[in-house]
Structure 1
Amino acid sequence: MLTAKGLFQEIIDDDEAFRLFCSIAASGEAQGGWENGRIAALVPPGMREMTPKITRHGADEDKHGRIFNALMRKRGLEPVPVPPDTDYTMLLEQRGIGLAHDKLRRDEPLSERDIIVYLAHSRVTEQRAAAQMDMLASHFGDHPDLGKAVRMIADDEVNHLAYCHEELLRLASAGHGPLIHRTLREAALAEIRVHRDVSLAVMRHMGRILKWPKAKSAALAAGIHVMYAYERVAGRRTMVGLRMPERRNALGGPPTPASAV
């Protein structure tokens, strides 16, 4: 029987598969760190109170990238280039989700609308990240090599998601509700498609590395398509709703250093 735990155990047990998995994860986290760092530098004057939290968000993402690289180094592995079809952040940008990198590279203040777009995009992608890391923590939280790392990252992702909920609710109460909900819907629909495509690509690469039989690869691909269909119909509701989180001011303090892993 195919299970998420069994599949990840196969990846963890194989150096080449583990190296690809960590390289993809490290690259995505580093990209998120850069994006948040640039957004923090370009926050419009009227929203500067958000700068420390955006900076903290970026610092957490950078830390996660370092953690995945450290997990590789522990096994004497070096990162590999990320296949373009598995580059989640790049594919989202190509579909117009989030803030364009060209805009972030310019030294021009962002608008209030830009910050709302950033938060809505983050609310959707952090929902995905939190769910994935919660799954890994539930299965591998006690793993001797991975446990502390996945627990720390999972806790950070909960903080990131709480931060997005709280800030978007604050902005909605200030009159930006229609823009927020429209942007959330657009981002969720695009993210669901990108997640399907990236999942299929990652499974193809892992199947090649781990020499999966065709029947196994076909079953995994079918499962990914079923999940996509479900998310299109019902699952995306979890990505567009807003509720006040239990963790308030979740990014109000300093980040936990990666050296604690």
Structure 2
Amino acid sequence: MLSAKSLFQEILDDDESFRLFCSIAASGEAQGGWENARIAALVPESERELAPKITRHGADEDKHGRIFNALIRKRGLEPVPVPPDTDYTMLLEKHGIGLAHEKLRSDRPLTVRDIVTYLAHSRVTEQRASEQMELLRKHFADHPDVGRAVKVISNDENNHLAYCHEELLRFAHVGHGRAIQKTLRECALAEIRIYRDVSLAVMAHMGRILDWPKAKSAVLAAVIHAVYAWERFAGWRRMVSLEMPQRRNALGGPAAPAPEYA
């Protein structure tokens, strides 16, 4: 029977598919770490109190990248180059979601509107990350190789999502509500399309590595398209709602050190 658990188990059991999966994840996390570090450095003076939280966000992303790379090396393997069609973070940036890297590479301070854009983009992408890690945690929390990593990263992603909710609500309270909702909607609709394309690309690469029959690949592609259809119709709305989280000030302290995995 084809299920999320059996699919991930198959990917985890094969060295080549495992290191591609972890390499893709590590690359995206490292890119997120760089973006957050640059945003923290360029925060406008009026929002300097937010800088430590953005720094913590970036430190967590860097930690996740190190964890995924450690999982690869624990098997005696090395990371592999990330195929461009699977590079979720760079494809989001290419399609104008979030803050342009050209802006982040400059030394000009960001505006408050830029910070709102960053938080709205993060609200959407952290929803996806939180859901993905919850799925892995559900099925692999007790896995001898990846269980500990899954639990650490899942907890961090939930903190990131809580932080985005809380800070966006703060900005909405001081008059940015309309801009926040507009940006959230634009980001969500773009993200679900890019997530579909990346999912199709990742499954195509995995299919070649694992020598999946054409029928299996076709079923997986159909499932991905069906998920996109649901998200395009209604599912995207879960990415744009805002509510005060139970985890308040979730990024108010220093990042926890990365456990040793290798």
Asked if these proteins are the same fold (TM beyond 0.5), I'd say yes
C-alpha separation between the residues in 2 aligned to 1:69 and 1:107? 31
Partner of 2:104: 104
Partner of 2:118: 118
Deviations 1:175-228 (A, max 9, x none): 000000000000000000000000000000000000000000000000000000
Partner of 1:194: 194
TM-score by length of 2: 0.99
Partner of 2:237: 237
C-alpha separation between the residues in 2 aligned to 1:253 and 1:92? 29
Partner of 1:132: 132
Q: Does 1:48 align with 2:48?
A: yes
Partner of 1:169: 169
C-alpha separation between the residues in 1 aligned to 2:125 and 2:66? 20
Figure out how many residues of one structure are paired with residues of the other and give that number: 261
Unaligned runs of 5+ in 2: none
C-alpha separation between the residues in 2 aligned to 1:46 and 1:254? 22
Q: Does 1:259 align with 2:254?
A: no
C-alpha separation between the residues in 1 aligned to 2:73 and 2:19? 10
Partner of 2:9: 9
C-alpha separation between the residues in 1 aligned to 2:253 and 2:51? 12
- The one-letter code sitting in structure 1 at the alignment partner of 2:230 is Y
TM-score by length of 1: 0.99
Identity of matched residues, %: 76
Q: Offset at 1:94?
A: 1.0
Partner of 1:74: 74
Q: Offset at 1:260?
A: 5.6
- The one-letter code sitting in structure 1 at the alignment partner of 2:79 is P
C-alpha separation between the residues in 2 aligned to 1:51 and 1:39? 8
C-alpha separation between the residues in 2 aligned to 1:64 and 1:259? 10
Partner of 1:185: 185
Q: Does 1:212 align with 2:203?
A: no
Deviations 1:13-38 (A, max 9, x none): 00000000000000000000000000
Q: Offset at 1:259?
A: 2.4
RMSD: 0.6
C-alpha separation between the residues in 2 aligned to 1:240 and 1:155? 21
C-alpha separation between the residues in 1 aligned to 2:170 and 2:219? 44
